[in-house]
Structure 1
Amino acid sequence: MDRLLLKFGIAAPILYFATIIVCSLLNPGYSQVSQYVSELGAAGAQRPDIFATGIMAAGASAIIGGLAFILGLRRKARGLILPLLTGLSIIAWGVSMVLGGLHPMPDERHGAYGLGMAIQAAPLLMFLAISGRADMTGLKTFLLMVFLASGALLAAMMGVGHVVHVAQVGLWQRAYALASIPWIAVAALCLDQALAAKDKKDRAAKA
């Protein structure tokens, strides 16, 4: 069951970025450099319904995928707390996407009151959850790099270094999204492969 549900974790980032690409094409003159992603779903945008549906689908996939991370990591990690926190962080991001689709910008509920920021901690939490697994060294290195890169970009978005300006805020937002979202699909795929190997080993041991 957990391996099946992990497919939703793989789909979530794909749906998110596909929505941005499609809606950008539907809005001639929209700037990926200077405009926020959420403007694609705001009043006045072309087909905001497509944007809302897309990000809600991504959010729903992340919620299911987050549950799969909890179940899957329980089989590959010791203890319950870190797998639970990892999955809940991904689920929180998914919930924020659903709320963002239900309440278009500039509704104050569009930002889900910062709930989506929980995704920032997820790579580190997963890294800690599998820290004792010698067979997942590559994934651990990847997760640590994601955490550091997304943390640096988030700090820049929050004003550290004064490098983000209105004229290119959209570019920075997309850079942060690329650092903080696609890893979910990569991690879900790696976890699925690790679980497949474990299942195969278990079947061989019973034979």
Structure 2
Amino acid sequence: MDRSTLLWGLILAPLFYYVALIGGSLLWPGYSHVTQYASELGSSASPNPMFFNGNVILCGLSALIGGFGLTHVLTRLTSNRAWSVAAGVSISLWGLAIVVAGLYPMPDDRHGAYGLAIAGQFTSLFAWIALRRVEGLSGLKMFLIAIFVASFALFAIMMGVGGLVTRANVGIWQRINTAIGIPYLAILGWVLLQQARRRALT
């Protein structure tokens, strides 16, 4: 089996997330992306919670699978097994947390998966460390560092730093946060998949 194809999990995870977010909001007349959390689309208040939760679970499963592909390709590409495993495990843990969020919608206490999703904050950093001595990927490496810095800045803001997030704008800040922390997975997965094919890494 060509295990590099597991990177398709990273490529597809953002797609499932935005299908859940955009599709779920279209199925809820009056839903506000400005004032409401994304997870409210999967709550009992939503007219179609299963649509959102089902796609969220698919997003999480994709990321979990993609984590195995990330570990494999980074290991073969860099021979840096420790940081390659760290990158793969961190995004797989995030994926697991997203699955839990879909299985236990708001306001269930288990919806937050007890903070497990925080592991995903480190994926871009771990991937950069694993790739830092690989030639020819300077653009990807700069991109990963930018994602790490931006995602942690947004995470801090979401946690209350600066007092910028209010109930009146929480939806906007959450959308900005996820726009930085989720779509990049598709770019990372695609670039590494092309590298794996070019270098015949199976």
Range class of TM-score, shorter chain: over 0.9
Q: Could you say which residue in structure 1 is the equivalent of 2:20?
A: 19
Contact 2:4 2:72 in 1 (8 A): no
Instruction: Report the Cα offset of residue 46 of structure 1.
Output: 1.2
Contact 2:63-2:95 at 8 Å conserved across structures: yes
Aligned residues: 201
| Aligned counterpart, 2:121 | 120
Matches within 5 A, 1:62-77: 62-77=63-78
- How far is 1:162 from its partner? 1.2
Per the alignment, residue 132 of structure 1 pairs with 133
TM-score by length of 1: 0.94
Question: Displacement of 1:199 after TM fit?
Answer: 1.4
Q: What is the CA–CA distance in structure 1 between the aligned matches of 2:135 and 2:78, rounded to whole Å?
A: 11
1:49 is aligned to 50
Offset of residue 160 of structure 1? 1.1
Where does structure 2 lack aligned partners over 5 or more consecutive residues?
Answer: none
Question: Which residue number corresponds to residue 179 of structure 1?
Answer: 180
Do 2:74 and 2:80's aligned partners in 1 also have CA atoms closer than 8 Å? no
Indicate the residue corresponding to 1:104 in structure 2: 105
2: CA distance, partners of 1:46 / 1:77: 48
> Which residue in the other structure is 2:162 paired with?
161
Distance 1:44 1:170 in 2: 16
| Number of the residue aligned with 1:78 | 79
CA deviation string 1:133-185 (max 9, x = no partner): 11111100100110111111111111111111110001101100011111111
- Residue-by-residue CA offset, 1:78-117 (whole Å, 9 max, x unaligned): 3211000100111011101110111010000001001011
Deviant stretches of 4+, over 2 Å: none
* Matched residue, 1:10: 11
